[in-house]
Amino acid sequence: MTDNKLFGTNGIRFIPGKEYGLDFIVNMGLSIGTFFDKPDIIVGFDGRNSSPSISRAISAGLMESGKNVISAGMVPTPALQLITKNSYDGGVMITASHNPSEYNGIKVISSNGIEVSRSEEKIIENIYFQQKYNRQNWENVGKISSDTSSINNYIHSVIQNVDSSSIKNRKLKIVIDSGNGTQALAAPLISESLGCEVITVNNHIDGTFSGRGGEPTPDTLKFLSQSVVENNADIGVGFDGDGDRSIFCDEKGIVFWGDKSGTLVSEHLINKGIKSPIVTTIATSLIIEKVASKYNVNVHRTKVGSVDVSHKMLELDSKFGFEENGGCLYSPHVAVRDGGMGTALMLELLSFSDTTLSENLSTLPNFYQSKTKFSCPIDSRESIIHDIASSISEEIDQTDGLKIHWSENSWSLIRPSGTEPIIRLFSESDSQSHLDAIMTKCSTLVNDLIKNLNS
């Protein structure tokens, strides 16, 4: 973190007790409370060991600024966002999403349920750095109360937003891997309410994410994949630590990234009559353009990060957005990424036909993808990416990091992580051999420049 920047791609992330102590958290509560105009702010937290104490420190700062705190308790992030949209003036979620268990973080949520915009993040940072706190005296400090209805309301809204009788009639079997995160509190209940037979793994909340870590990927979801096959299930889903991302697995145990599930859901919604622009990031597959163009539906691409997708959806009155990392955003419910809503939409998709999930996937155009990451000091990442941009003769796009268009059906994206000291590399091509070649070329470029830093 630099001196004047606290927010990354998704809120503020840090190691409590190492990078920042509770005094920082109280001051952030004061800053956030000073930022909000209206009085009632709901505060929720994920299952991390440090979350209960951080949520209390944030609440203390909010109350000192005169805001009333409503404690939601431990919740999935999308449940807190939904109740903020429906009932409160703002929200704060204490979570570091999928980051390792020593991390924690702060997400600030506007009254529309979406995380605050990049410019609003800057306002909060300025209040913090300039200590322009709106402190109140003893007569005007905020009150505290609790509202434990977030999860029930959330489950109800997800179910209301799909064709529950169609899903019930299909009698699907689902394996749910909550990854010891907070979707354990909602996703199994949503699926049961939709008439599914539910099998759970890693379904106890554990702040160390002892089962398979907090991030759902094909590598970390091997046990889910096995469980789907052994139980003869129709679908498997794995969530991240705070339940806003969902990565799926077909009935054969094949785990696939969110651009495939996002494209399948997009096509399903179009067929259901919901024909609005689709929003995704520059990091997702070309398959969405290939599929959406069949229906004359526009695809809009944003910077990487669900906040950018959410705000673009609002701007375009888009109903659906998605991310390759498993973010799935459905605005009739709330325009934020939501693992529970994504799961219900996948179940609805399956219920509209007799085809299996693998058969649905086989209808998508065939592209190959690869991703990797490189450790790199935070301050050196921009110059490395700049040096690569100047050495490339192909068409480039610098919306976010560096996207290189090698050919019509091949691209690479090199960008700094918003939350960690790493550079990420994604590539896609319609040919495996070309994919291997562009991954090797980019990896060599990045590795050589990182080596030069140390020489």
Nearer to Mg ion, 64 or 240 (CB): 240
Q: CA 14, CA 99: separation in Å to the nearest integer?
A: 10
CB of 82 to Mg ion, least distance (A): 15
Classify residue 253 by its DSSP letter: S
- Total residues interacting with Mg ion, rule: CB under 5 A: 4
Q: Which of 101, 100, 107 is nearest to 75 (CA)?
A: 107
- Closer of 242 and 323 to Mg ion (Cβ): 242
Least distance (Å) between residue 182 CB and Mg ion: 10
Given a contact cutoff of 8 angstroms between Cβ atoms, the answer to whether 209 and 203 are in contact is no
Per CB under 5 A, 323 contacts Mg ion: no
* Residues β-bridged to residue 198: 174
Helix (H, G, I), strand (E, B) or coil at 247: strand
Write the CA distances from 420 to 13, 46, 258, 273, integer angstroms: 9, 20, 21, 40
242: contact with Mg ion by CB under 5 A: yes
x/- string (CB under 5 A) for Mg ion, residues 54-93?
----------------------------------------
Going from the C-alpha of 377 to that of each of 4, 417, 419, 444, 451, the distances in angstroms are: 18, 11, 12, 18, 12
Tell the smallest beta-carbon distance from residue 243 to Mg ion (Å). 7
Binding test (CB under 5 A) with Mg ion, winner from 34, 51, 81, 97 = 97
DSSP for 294-311? GGT--EEEE-SSHHHHHH
User: Which residue in 40, 46, 115, 240 binds Mg ion (CB under 5 A)?
Assistant: 240
Q: What's the CA gap between 263 and 285, in Å, rounded? A: 9
Q: Residue 221 or 361: which CB sits closer to Mg ion? A: 221
**Minimum gap (Å) between residue 244 Cβ and Mg ion:** 4
Of 68 and 343, which CB lies nearer to Mg ion in the complex structure? 343
Q: Give the integer Cα–Cα distance in Å for 63 and 43.
A: 12
Q: Which stretch binds Mg ion (CB under 5 A): 18-26, 171-179, 194-202, 236-244?
A: 236-244
Q: Which stretch binds Mg ion (CB under 5 A): 14-22, 45-53, 238-246, 286-294?
A: 238-246
Q: From the CB of 6, what's the least distance to Mg ion, in Å?
A: 18
Among residues 277, 327, 286, the alpha carbon closest in space to that of 97 is found at 327
Q: Is 353 a catalytic residue?
A: no
What residues form DSSP beta bridges with 320?
Answer: 278, 330
State which residue, 63 or 345, has the beta carbon closest to Mg ion. Answer: 345
- In the complex with Mg ion, the residue whose CB is nearer, 242 or 251, is 242
Residues 244, 259, 323, 428: which binds Mg ion (CB under 5 A)?
244
Nearest to 97 by CA among 176, 18, 9, 22: 9
- Pick the catalytic residue: 97, 306, 331, 412? 97
Stretch that binds Mg ion, among 54-62, 97-105, 276-284, 421-429 (CB under 5 A): 97-105
For Mg ion, the closer CB: 244 or 324:
244
Whether the CA torsion 70, 39, 241, 277 is positive or negative: it is positive
Q: Which single residue brings its beta carbon nearest to Mg ion?
A: 97
Stretch that binds Mg ion, among 199-207, 208-216, 242-250, 359-367 (CB under 5 A): 242-250
Strand-strand pairing, 235-239 and 173-177? parallel
Contact 374, 447 (CB under 8 A): yes
Report which of 335, 316, 441 is spatially closest to residue 388, judged by C-alpha positions: 441
User: Rounded to the nearest whole angstrom, what is the least distance from the CB of residue 327 to Mg ion in the complex?
Assistant: 8
Identity of the residue, 78 or 236, whose beta carbon is nearer to Mg ion in the bound complex: 78
Ramachandran region of residue 209, left (φ > 0), alpha (ψ -120 to 50) or beta?
left
State which of positions 167-196 bind Mg ion (CB under 5 A): none
Min dist CB 181 to Mg ion, Å, is 8
CB of residue 343 to Mg ion, shortest distance in Å: 14
Check binding of 206 to Mg ion (CB under 5 A). Answer: no
Reduced to 3 states (helix: H, G, I; strand: E, B; else coil), residue 269 is helix
Establish if 338 lies at the interface with Mg ion (CB under 5 A): no
Q: Which residues bind Mg ion (CB under 5 A)?
A: 97, 240, 242, 244
Residues annotated catalytic, as ranges: 97
